[in-house]
Chain A
Amino acid sequence: MEQKLKLQVRHLNKIFEDTKGGEVVALRDVSLEVRESEFVMIVGPSGCGKTTLINVIGGLETASSGEVLLEGRPVEGPGADRGMVFQGYSLFPWLTVQKNVEFGLKMKKVSAAQRAKKAKEYIDLVGLTGFENALPRQLSGGMKQRVAIARTLANEPEVLLMDEPFGALDAQTRVVMQELLAKISRTTGTTILFITHDIDEAVLLGQRIYVMSRRPGTVREVVEVEIPGERDHNSLVLPEFLATKKRIMDMLWQESNDAAMDR
């Protein structure tokens, strides 16, 4: 059964002007789609325009041409329908965990009682029960990112956009967070578009992976990931995992090699 299309990016181009008035092409003709409840990864080398791409989808930047459709409607500017989680957590340091998670609901003028109930639900989901009244500065990096995820999910966005959310975490914490996110994806059915430069992360979490090329960023290939069972740290040693990882590594190695030859 084909799931319904949630997010479409069509022929997106992004051209920056550099200080000398020259043109820098950050994204060239990028098209991708994410179906409902799907977990889609975008993997690519640093500087391939991944962050620009997700910012355009999130409405924080505008494209030079092309369009982004959410459930068939073009998006303009940022909105609560596309929740974002950033690498730098960007929690509000003056608010407690509870108030951070309630933030989006407060903006929508949801009643205080409703907000508290919903926030509690998502704080439980990310495993932060008991930390409701802590301030962000009292939390570790992993816990901060849990708060950021809960804060975005509490808003019940149509799609969750994640920009290298675990990039600043140590290796062990990262695996724990990846398992948590895989579980959230399974249990809540949230549609997720996730950006990373970490191939392991892409293969472990993604149902489908868009592999991007170096600047100008464009989609090089789409890889369907077939890994049996629930995704967790055990998946990291399965032959299917390793085979997919190898395929993507080869593509990205080719990219780096081409880039080196260009010089």
Chain B
Amino acid sequence: MNKEKRKTFGVSEKLLSLICFLLIIMFWCVGSYGGMVKDIFLPSPSAVIEKIVSMARDGSLWANCWESTYRVLIGWIWSVIIALPMGMLMANSRKVSAFVQPIIEFARYLPVVALVPLTLLYLGIGESQKYTIIFLGTFFQLVLMVCDTVSGVDSNMINAARTLGASRMQVYREVIFPAALPGLMDDFRLTIGWAWTYLVVAEMVAADNGLGYMILRSQRYLATDTIFAGLILIGLIGLVTDWIFRILSRLVAPWQERLTDK
């Protein structure tokens, strides 16, 4: 009976999310079709949809989405590859933590936009400069998040493993990593979201494709419909990414999922 109640509640939660989207679209329609806001500030929903459809027809939609997704992924994956072991080391060694924590705390406050000139100077205008911007935007935050998540692993579990004869390496591999995995998946999900927010910064200079580039260029021509189309596409990709991560979390840590089910 209790379960039944939960279930209907779950449906109504989804309904509420939907209503929120519908409300926003409704205000948009009223504002635009009702002639309350000029087209140049707020393009009509039909104009934006037409734009997206025409972009899909000429293929630029897929090309731009793919280019941007690729840049975000490469930058973000590098940041995961380096942040994961570093965060784990920081969480388990005071010396490592003392060595790198201050510089990370320092770097994380630097605005990524301000680093663009340096990345151009060092790396030129190629793709690696774009990956680097995404990397810089996510890495310093991610290291601290990984460190925090790994520090949160129940020390009793680590003690139990050590008294069961696990070596330090075994403790990392067999206990700390699996125990932290659900939390790490959350960290990854959040940072890949941030990676998308740095996309426009990454495509600000010397890009000739990508959603961020598309939005920037449209500003020059006051093509508000294209700007809206770009924003909506980024948002949708974000929703899909989030959804993929939720499924992945369930796959890599099924024991955790069932825990919340109860």
- A106 vs B174: C-alpha distance in the bound complex, in angstroms? 10
B163 touching A137, Cβ below 8 Å: no
A152 touches B164 (CB 8 A): yes
Q: How far is the CA of A58 from the CA of B161 in the complex (A)?
A: 12
Interface segment among B4-12, B45-53, B152-160: the answer is B152-160
Does B167 lie at the interface of the complex (its beta carbon under 8 Å from any beta carbon of A)?
A: yes
CA distance A94 to B166 in the complex (A): 17
Q: Which residues of B contact A148 (CB under 8 A)?
A: 160
Q: A90 contacts B167, CB within 8 Å?
A: no
The DSSP consensus for interface residues of chain B is helix
Chain A 91-111 per-residue mask, 1 if CB under 8 angstroms from chain B, else 0? 111100000000110111000
Are A84 and B160 in contact, CB atoms less than 8 angstroms apart? Answer: yes
Chain A CB within 8 A of B126 CB? no
CB contacts (< 8 Å) of B81 on chain A: these are: none
Name the interface residues of B61-101: CB closer than 8 Å to any CB of A: none
Chain B residues positioned under 8 Å from A106 (CB to CB): 174
Interface size on B, residues (CB 8 A): 24
The reply to whether B163 and A94 form a contact with Cβ atoms under 8 Å apart is no
Q: Which residues of A contact B258 (CB under 8 A)?
A: 135, 137
In Å, the complex CA distance between A25 and B196 comes to 55
Q: Which of B154, B156, B162, B165 has the most CB of A within 10 A?
A: B165
Given contacts A88-B156, A90-B154, A92-B178, are A137 and B255 in contact (CB under 8 A)? yes
- Docked Cα-Cα span, A86 to B161, in Å, equals 12
Assess the A92–B157 pair: CB atoms within 8 A.
yes
Closest to A148 in B: B160
- The answer to whether A78 and B163 touch across the interface, beta carbons within 8 angstroms, is yes
Taking a contact as CB atoms under 8 Å apart, the answer to whether A80 and B159 are in contact is no
Given A107-B170, A107-B174, A137-B258: A155 in contact with B165 (beta carbons within 8 A) = yes
B116 interface residue per 8 A CB criterion: no
With A86-B156, A94-B179 as known contacts, state yes or no: A107 contacts B255, CB within 8 Å: no
**B residues less than 8 Å from A93 (CB atoms):** 179, 255-256, 259
Cβ contacts under 8 Å, A78 to chain B: 159, 162-163
List chain B residues, Cβ under 8 A from A91: 160
Say yes or no: A103-B179 contact (C-beta < 8 A), given A88-B156, A135-B258.
no
Chain A residues near B253 (CB-CB < 8 A)? 94
Q: Is the CB of B163 within 8 A of A92?
A: no
Q: Is the CB of B179 within 8 A of A92?
A: yes
Kindly state whether residue B185 has any CB partner on chain A within 8 Å. Answer: no
**Residue B120, interface by CB 8 Å:** no
* Contact status B161-A103, CB under 8 Å: yes
- 15 extra A-B contacts, CB within 8 A, seeds A93-B256, A108-B165: A58-B159, A60-B162, A78-B162, A80-B163, A83-B163, A84-B160, A90-B157, A92-B157, A92-B161, A92-B178, A94-B256, A103-B174, A104-B164, A107-B164, A152-B164
Q: Which 10 pairs across A and B sit closest by C-beta, in order of nearness?
A: A80-B165, A104-B164, A78-B162, A90-B160, A90-B156, A84-B163, A94-B255, A107-B166, A107-B165, A78-B163
